[in-house]
Amino acid sequence: MSIVAVGECTRDRYAALGVERVGGISLNFAVHARGCGAPNVALVTCAGTDGWGSAVRSALARSGVDSSRVHTREGATASQLIELDTDGERRFPPGGYNPGVLSAFALDRGDLAFIGEHDVVAAPYFRQVAHLFRPAMQAARPGARRVVDLLDGEDLGPDLAGIDAVLDVADLAFISSGESAVERLASRSLHARALIVVTHGARGCSALAAGRRLFEPAVPVPAHEQVDTTGCGDAFQAAFTVAWTAGAPIQNALRAGAQRAAEVVRYLGAIPTAGRL
């Protein structure tokens, strides 16, 4: 199975701690997919000339992820300010995200051909990188699995109004939300081509398939071991995707995701080989 993650890499800034780490939804997904046993994983993204491109490539190399389509453009690598509560829960403060060179980055012909060589194409859908999502999905070859991360669904509009257009092109869609989203999406799952997975953080996770809900509790982590929830969702998605695309039952894939997320919360940063400058 070959997987390509398309989208962002970031410089994650823990300003209060004076610490910075390599991160980003797509990079995190790729690293954890490789860590979950996927033999061939690649990342398509763009870093800036601020030195973080080297940190990104080093982190990918240590993880065994193909970085041959990690581009470099003049300017700053995308960055995300992260604040941590005392219990390790991460918060993204308003105005804390800077897309940097990603705002003008477009997939070229070589990227699109490269994407088309893979069995699984994964990309996030949010405002700052929405211009990369549809070209990536369209580049997927017939029979490939298309995986989308909708984050908390905020950029889909009120009541997730824009979700149908995304579900029409995806085989697997993740969204981070609560019971209200499960209720809203249950009926949509009756006719959606995509398997919908709703993650509830410490409250567990749900999968919606043809109107049926499967639930899996979160793996308990002692309070004193909870360091940082950054990247837990990305790790969950990677583990679920690897298990599900390999043929595991949905319940088993949910369990694999929960177990991976429980590992990530125990260290600072979104990936175990978190690069830094």
Express each pLDDT in 217-255 by its tens digit.
Answer: 999 999 999 999 999 999 999 999 999 999 999 999 999
Domain count of the chain?
1
pLDDT tens profile 83-106: 999 889 999 999 999 999 999 999
Host domain of residue 78: 2-264
Longest C-alpha distance within the chain, in Å?
49
Query: 97: part of which helix (H) or strand (E)?
Result: strand 97-98
pLDDT: is 254 or 180 the higher one?
254
Let me know if residue 138 belongs to a domain: yes
Let me know if residue 270 belongs to a domain: no
Are 146 and 137 contacting, i.e. CB atoms less than 8 angstroms apart? yes
Residue 276 pLDDT: 42
Let me know if residue 45 belongs to a domain: yes
Q: In sequence order, which residues have a C-beta less than 8 Å from that of residue 29 and are 6 or more positions away? A: 5, 122, 149, 234, 237, 238, 241
Let me know if residue 223 belongs to a domain: yes
Evaluate if residue 274 carries a pLDDT over 80.
Answer: no
Q: Which band of pLDDT confidence, cut at 50, 70 and 90, is reported for residue 273?
A: low
Let me know if residue 277 belongs to a domain: no
pLDDT tens profile 188-209: 888 888 999 999 999 999 999 9
What is 17-29 written as a DSSP string? GTEEEEE-HHHHH
Q: What is the mean pLDDT of the chain?
A: 94
Q: In sequence order, which residues have a C-beta less than 8 Å from that of residue 165 and are 6 or more positions away? A: none
CATH of the domain at 254: 3.40.1190.20
Residues in the chain: 277
Let me know if residue 245 belongs to a domain: yes
Strand partners, 122: 5, 147
Residue 123 pLDDT: 97
End-to-end CA distance of the chain: 33
Evaluate if residue 275 carries a pLDDT over 80.
Answer: no
pTM, whole model, 2 decimals? 0.96
- What torsion do the CA atoms of 154, 156, 159, 164 make, to the nearest 10 degrees? -150
Let me know if residue 269 belongs to a domain: no
Count of beta carbons in the 10 Å neighbourhood of residue 160: 20
Cα–Cα distance, 176 to 89 (Å, whole number): 14
Let me know if residue 272 belongs to a domain: no
DSSP state of 76: P
Q: What is the mean pLDDT of residues 137-165?
A: 91
